[in-house]
């Protein structure tokens, strides 16, 4: 049974027997006597409606029998409430909670209006003292139904897949590295639910880079190593496939510099469901357990307002930190801009020279108060990153996931983006790969590849569509690019068309008047670069540096037996192309992807590659690629 089917089963059939009313004949199958509670929530002093307020109906025994949120007009309606006297509570961050009694009659509605007073919160730009309340627990049926909300507001940026380019007109290819892993975890979430993911949710480079690869030891001069391999492309054997790998070695966490962390947590009403704020709290608890005495943590929350609920606290005061996390609850609108400003202010005030100064933002990405457009958010983040602070974005939840907004925030904030779909992913991102997620060894990392026209007619970069740079940006140290963390592995794949073959989709052009001919046979003198396929250059800055450093190496036109890592990365790329319905996937099949992945499985101590193989098998067995899922494709 799929997860989706199980949730539906739970929502409709797993209601406790004690909650089912009996009829005159004593049958437990008689429908219960119910009514509904409705009303309006307003600001007590201003009279304006309050949206996003959490309304909960509690039975006399303290069990939540219904829950909902106010809409933009401040109205709510909670149906299927059992007949009887109940307590109705309203909670909204920044306001005092209110509780009142309501009597529900069979088949009738009861009105319960609320006028909330603002909490006595003193906001001096940094410190907020607020009353913290524990959220009531929903019964299993209500919780399952709440988790099954439709995927109606998820947002993904349009991706136009890279096509082939002719070397004669575009000999250089330049892009920023990408160490985000969010796309793979999000794609996995869709597939585990038995659904094909939206095409634009599939970012192939993030899928490839989700997996750990064998580490190469860098020289003493640079913080990471560069590796290359050449093989035939599995989906088009006449073409070459070139792998460029960057590897930053892992180190013992005890050797890492001290951390100055600010948890910036979205506690708005949209974060109420169990795959959001409750999972955020459990995820951060895992990270807190890894902190050392020299590390520090502060907690900033935002909903209707932004505030500091925990000042910067030493990492060994775990009980204090965990208590502050545990007491958080969701309710209210999302003042994301105010939260970001406050979080960066706290980072600056507790800045550690030579340390890891970082904001960790946990949200579903729904910023709708204050700076809300992507452009405003990007400008805010770009301004704040000049302070020397880095950013990690953790995305949570379904139905409201603003993937495109979170990716932009991370990309422009010297940061990385992860999607957390469960505690196992939280452990991978925040514990097992803590160094790569939280500790930067190089920033503004760019790659530029120059192709030898005597060997290459055309090429295509697989993925990285939203990381492309102008060729002149490579030497421009003012241009932002990706960051690389401790233990990170970055892989880029180029599909290369050998000289003499037609470049797919590139069309034909006349010979250029002022440039050498494309035909290598017309060259009268041998080239001093004969045998070179391409030349790779990498630029990067030290974490606190302003001037870039350069690595370079040649790649020869010689195929060799591919490593297990190369085979596996090729399998992931092929699967991504099939999920995207790519025109470049050729005759590749899911069976061939599985075969490639099995050949590249290698040493898989944590089972990540095995899990990938099972996902591809499930996609095949459920026939998820047999027909397009237009409802999930935002285009």
The answer to whether position 149 is within a domain reads: no
Check residue 140 and give its pLDDT. Answer: 41
Percent of the chain with pLDDT over 70: 81
143 pLDDT more than 90: no
Interatomic CA distance for residues 415 and 429, integer angstroms: 14
Q: What is the pLDDT of residues 60-117, one digit of tens each?
A: 766 777 777 787 778 888 888 889 899 999 987 667 889 999 999 988 889 999 999 8
Contact 256, 356 (CB under 8 A): yes
Please give the average per-residue pLDDT across 2-9, as a whole number: 43
The answer to whether position 11 is within a domain reads: no
Domain of residue 578: give its range: 165-251+442-504+528-632
Helix axes 403-412, 182-192, angle to 10 degrees: 160
DSSP H or E segment with residue 441 = strand 440-451
Q: How confident is the model at residue 531 (pLDDT cuts 50, 70, 90)?
A: confident
385 pLDDT more than 80: no
527 pLDDT more than 80: no
Q: Which of 438, 469, 496 is the last residue of a domain?
A: 438
Question: What are the tokens at 342?
Answer: 């406050």
Interatomic CA distance for residues 396 and 409, integer angstroms: 15
Q: Mean pLDDT in the chain?
A: 82
Check residue 302 and give its pLDDT. Answer: 86
Between 517 and 164, whose confidence is greater?
164
Q: In what order do the strands lie in the sheet with 356-363?
A: 306-314, 296-302, 259-266, 356-363, 390-396, 415-420
One domain, residues 475 and 615: yes
The answer to whether position 460 is within a domain reads: yes
Q: What is the CATH number of the domain that holds 418?
A: 3.40.50.410
One domain, residues 449 and 546: yes
Please give the average per-residue pLDDT across 408-416, as a whole number: 79
Q: Which of 401, 418, 438 is the last residue of a domain?
A: 438
The answer to whether position 134 is within a domain reads: no
Question: What are the tokens at 634?
Answer: 């935002």
142 pLDDT more than 90: no
Check residue 630 and give its pLDDT. Answer: 45
DSSP H or E segment with residue 564 = helix 564-579
Check residue 407 and give its pLDDT. Answer: 85
432 pLDDT more than 90: no
Between 420 and 398, whose confidence is greater?
420
One domain, residues 603 and 554: yes
Check residue 406 and give its pLDDT. Answer: 84
DSSP string, 200-216: GG--HHHHHTTS-----
The 8-class DSSP code of residue 94 comes to T
Question: What are the tokens at 635?
Answer: 């285009």
For residues 65-84, one letter each, b for 16 or more C-beta atoms within 10 angstroms of the residue's C-beta and e for the rest, the string is: bbbbbbeeebebebeebbbe
DSSP H or E segment with residue 283 = helix 277-288
Work out how many domains the chain is built from and give that number.
3
Please give the average per-residue pLDDT across 204-219, as a whole number: 89
Q: What is the CATH number of the domain that holds 106?
A: 2.60.40.10
Q: What is the pLDDT of residues 544-592, one digit of tens each?
A: 888 999 999 999 998 889 999 999 999 999 999 999 999 999 999 999 9
The answer to whether position 144 is within a domain reads: no
One domain, residues 428 and 452: no
Give the 3-state secondary structure of residue 150: coil
Between 349 and 522, whose confidence is greater?
349
Between 509 and 49, whose confidence is greater?
49
Q: How confident is the model at residue 520 (pLDDT cuts 50, 70, 90)?
A: low
The answer to whether position 111 is within a domain reads: yes
Q: What is the pLDDT of residues 224-233, one digit of tens each?
A: 999 999 999 9
One domain, residues 569 and 622: yes
Q: From 566, 613, 574, select the one nearest 229 (Cα to Cα).
A: 566
One domain, residues 423 and 485: no
Q: What is the CATH number of the domain that holds 191?
A: 2.60.40.1230
One domain, residues 427 and 472: no
Helix axes 608-621, 590-599, angle to 10 degrees: 160
Which phi-psi region, left, alpha or beta, contains residue 594 (left: φ > 0; alpha: ψ -120 to 50)?
A: alpha
Q: What is the pLDDT of residues 273-328, one digit of tens each?
A: 888 999 999 999 999 999 999 999 999 998 866 789 999 999 999 999 999 999 88
166 pLDDT more than 90: yes
Check residue 530 and give its pLDDT. Answer: 77
26 pLDDT more than 50: no
Percent of the chain with pLDDT over 90: 47
Check residue 58 and give its pLDDT. Answer: 85
Q: How confident is the model at residue 25 (pLDDT cuts 50, 70, 90)?
A: very low
One domain, residues 195 and 329: no
146 pLDDT more than 80: no
One domain, residues 273 and 223: no
One domain, residues 215 and 323: no
Q: Which of 381, 412, 438 is the last residue of a domain?
A: 438
The answer to whether position 521 is within a domain reads: no
Interatomic CA distance for residues 513 and 140, integer angstroms: 74
One domain, residues 378 and 423: yes
One domain, residues 449 and 316: no
The answer to whether position 8 is within a domain reads: no
Cβ neighbours, 10 Å, residue 534: 26
């Amino acid at each position: 049974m799929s997860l989706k089917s199980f949730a539906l089963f739970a929502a409709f059939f797993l209601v406790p027997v004690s909650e089912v009313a009996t009829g005159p004949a004593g049958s437990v199958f008689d429908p219960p006597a119910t009514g509904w509670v409705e009303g309006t929530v307003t600001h007590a002093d201003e009279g304006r409606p309050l949206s996003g307020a959490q309304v909960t109906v509690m039975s006399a025994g303290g069990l939540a029998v219904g829950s909902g949120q106010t809409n933009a007009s401040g109205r709510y309606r909670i149906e299927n409430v059992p007949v009887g006297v109940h307590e109705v509570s309203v909670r909204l961050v920044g306001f005092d909670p209110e509780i009142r009694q309501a009597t529900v009659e069979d088949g009738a509605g009861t009105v319960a209006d609320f006028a909330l007073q603002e909490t006595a919160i003193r906001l001096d730009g940094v410190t907020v003292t607020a009353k913290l309340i524990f959220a009531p627990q929903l019964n299993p049926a209500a919780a399952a139904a709440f988790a099954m909300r439709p995927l109606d507001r998820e947002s993904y940026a349009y991706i136009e897949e890279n096509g082939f380019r002719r070397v004669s007109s575009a000999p250089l290819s330049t892009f920023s590295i990408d160490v985000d892993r969010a796309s793979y975890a999000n794609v996995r979430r869709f597939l585990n639910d038995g659904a094909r993911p939206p095409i634009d949710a599939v970012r192939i480079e993030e899928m490839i880079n989700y997996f750990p690869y064998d580490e190469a030891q860098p020289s003493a001069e640079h913080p990471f190593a560069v590796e290359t391999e050449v093989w035939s492309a599995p989906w088009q054997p006449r073409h070459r496939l070139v792998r460029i790998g960057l590897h930053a070695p892992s180190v013992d966490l005890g050797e890492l510099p001290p951390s100055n962390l600010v948890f910036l947590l979205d506690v708005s009403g949209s974060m109420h469901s169990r795959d959001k704020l409750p999972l955020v709290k459990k995820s951060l608890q895992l990270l807190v357990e890894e902190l050392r005495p020299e590390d520090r943590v502060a907690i900033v929350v935002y909903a209707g307002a932004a505030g500091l609920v925990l000042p910067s606290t030493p990492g060994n005061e775990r009980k204090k930190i965990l208590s502050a996390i545990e007491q958080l609850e969701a309710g209210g609108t999302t003042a994301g801009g105010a939260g970001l400003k406050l979080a960066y202010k706290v980072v600056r005030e507790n800045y550690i020279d030579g340390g890891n100064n970082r904001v960790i933002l946990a949200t579903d990405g729904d910023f709708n108060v204050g700076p809300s457009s992507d452009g405003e958010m990007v400008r805010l983040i770009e301004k704040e990153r000049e302070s020397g602070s880095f950013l990690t974005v953790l995305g949570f939840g379904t139905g409201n996931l603003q993937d495109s907004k979170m990716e932009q925030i991370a990309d422009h904030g010297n940061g990385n983006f992860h999607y957390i779909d469960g505690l196992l992913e939280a452990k991978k991102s925040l514990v097992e790969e803590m160094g790569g997620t939280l500790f930067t060894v190089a920033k503004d990392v760019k790659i530029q590849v120059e192709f030898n026209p005597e060997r290459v007619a055309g090429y295509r970069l697989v993925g990285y569509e939203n990381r492309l740079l102008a060729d002149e940006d490579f030497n421009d140290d003012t241009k932002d690019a990706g960051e690389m963390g401790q233990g990170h592995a970055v892989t880029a794949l180029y599909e290369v068309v050998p000289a003499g073959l037609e470049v797919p989709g590139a069309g034909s052009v006349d010979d250029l008047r002022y440039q050498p001919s494309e035909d290598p046979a017309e060259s009268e003198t041998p080239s001093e670069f004969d045998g070179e396929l391409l030349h790779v250059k990498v630029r990067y800055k030290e974490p606190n540096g302003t001037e870039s450093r350069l690595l370079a190496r040649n790649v020869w036109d010689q195929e060799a037996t591919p490593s297990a890592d190369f085979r596996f990365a090729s399998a992931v790329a092929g699967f991504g192309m099939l999920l995207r319905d790519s025109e470049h996937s050729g005759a590749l099949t899911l069976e061939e992807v599985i075969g490639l992945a099995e050949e590249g499985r290698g040493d898989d101590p944590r089972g990540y590659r095995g899990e990938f193989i099972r996902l591809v098998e499930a996609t095949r067995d459920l026939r998820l690629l047999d027909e397009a899922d237009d409802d999930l494709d935002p285009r």
